[in-house]
Amino acid sequence: MSIIIKPKTPPAASPASTTVVKPIKPVNYSRSTLVEVPPEASQKREIKGNLKSPFIFSLCQPGAEKVHKEEIKNIHPEYHSAYQRPGFVTFKGTEMMGPDVRFESTLSRTFGISLKTVKFDPAANASTELNDEIQQKAQELIEELTTILKSNEATSPAEKSAPAIVHVWDCALTEVRDSSSHVANLHSPLYDALVHFNDRSLFSFQTHATDGALVFDLIVQSENEVWIGAHLQSRFHYQTPPEYLTLPLPEKAPSRAYFKLLESLDLARIRMPFGTTAIEIGSSPGGASLALLEKGVNVIGIDPAEMDRVVLRFPEFSHVRRGVLNIEGHDLDVFDAPPEWILLDMNVAPNTALNSIDHILSVIRRPERTQGLILTLKLNDWSYVSEIRFYLNRIYDYGFTDIVAKQLTTNRQEFCVVARR
Ligand SMILES: C[S@@+](CC[C@H](N)C(=O)[O-])C[C@H]1O[C@@H](n2cnc3c(N)ncnc32)[C@H](O)[C@@H]1O
């Protein structure tokens, strides 16, 4: 199943863009033009029952709410922003929507319809031990979820025999966690308590959701507020909420790009078999290269800067210590297997990064063997967000038509594009 990404309308000049290398078809950013829902997905879109809401919730990078709202204004003018908290925005549509709601956003980590806000009474818990308080909250949430589940006529008998999937989100998902954040403190004990009180035949927490599955979302807003939403699992959703931000970076990892790479593979469900060859443009100091090497991937790292010793120790790593535009075809003939993946993570503007992809695709010996691209494109200027569709159009024109673009939880002011043929 492919997500086809293709602008259909002509390109406006892009004022914030620094480098435009070739004449480009104009893009009208004010219409939703890029993602066509494949027929299989459309068949799954028919949601019966009462899981409906005029509101959409979306989790984004804390601090990016304003630019996320701008993004949605351009892509989905039919949705109007309604409410926001750090890392959390809701939008109101013009009609009732089901969990299959369309929301073509790069900045959204997850989204769905917003069903209910559960507010706990702080006074009621004033004299209660923290542990008891969390248990009470968990019980209350399980009751709310059970009511929603039981009143959902759409659940077929076959589906009812399986527990409903629930994903629990910390809405303050950010690398720089405020240690006093009640959200961060509540999320994990609440999750444990939910699992404890759950009748396993009813709900299954943090389990992998396959495309088309109905997933309930619990979004922990604060110690006294949790929102309940629902989405139909699609390629634009993580199969489980990513946990990389809560994990300590392994000591051997030269950079946080180690987790960025793992998260992009998770999001796009990519498995690189042992012996696959990948090129990484902008590979220093080597976090992403290390993550690939540990999976048995051969890596050709292109970067004028030094690589960390932990990476250089692998015989399956080859460093071409030059700027990417000075690379020639024979530099990439290192391993028996021709490169199948091209990764890029350069600290340059998106158009400059894409010029590097143009160059590599023009010198690589067997470009048709390239299965896909995994790119980190920098949003050094937030105004680049309005040009994302233009960048995706360039990538589409390389022949990679199956494209997912998302700001990962491990991304800073940048986003990830995974593009396949
Ligand atoms: C964000 S860092 C890359 C992090 C790296 N992917 C990792 O996993 O640790 C950006 C890198 O892009 C490299 N870079 C910038 N311009 C470049 C160019 N023209 N050719 C190759 N690398 C370049 C820089 O030297 C820098 O090491």
Closest ligand 1 atom to the C-alpha of 325?
Answer: 19
Q: 247-420: same fold as 46-232?
A: no
Taking the centre of ligand 1 as the mean of its atom positions, its distance from the CA of residue 305, in whole angstroms, is: 7
Give the tens place of pLDDT for each residue, 380-413: 889 899 999 999 999 999 999 999 999 999 999 9
93 contacts 100 by C-beta, under 8 angstroms: no
What is the rounded average pLDDT for all residues in the chain? 84
- Alpha helix locations (H) across 84-177? 130-150, 157-160
For residue 182, pLDDT over 80 is answered with no
Instruction: Tell me the pLDDT tens digit for each residue of 238-257.
Output: 999 888 887 889 999 999 99
Domain ranges of the chain: 46-232, 247-420
Q: Which residue has the higher pLDDT, 236 or 160?
A: 236
Q: What is the pLDDT of residue 186?
A: 66
Q: What is the pLDDT of residue 40?
A: 40
Share of the chain above pLDDT 90, in %: 66
Sequence-ordered strand ranges (E) for 10-52: 35-36
Q: Which two tokens stand for residue 325?
A: 């535009």
Give per-residue pLDDT as tens, 314-362: 999 999 999 999 999 999 999 998 999 999 999 999 999 999 999 999 9
Quote the pTM value: 0.86
Q: Determine the distance separating the centroid of ligand 1 and the alpha carbon of 354, expressed in angstroms.
A: 14
Three-class SS of residue 70? Answer: helix
What is the fold, at CATH topology level, of the domain defined by 247-420? Rossmann fold (3.40.50)
When mean pLDDT is compared over 31-40, 166-175, 253-262, the highest value belongs to 253-262
pLDDT tens, position by position, 134-151: 888 999 999 999 999 888
Instruction: Give the residue, out of 303, 345, 357, 410, with the most ligand 1 atoms within 8 A of its beta carbon, to mutate for a pocket test.
Output: 303
Model pLDDT, residue 230: 96
| 3-class DSSP string for 185-227 | HHHHHHHHHHHHHCCCCCEEECCCCCCCCEEEEEEEEECCEEE
CATH numeric code, 46-232: 3.30.2130
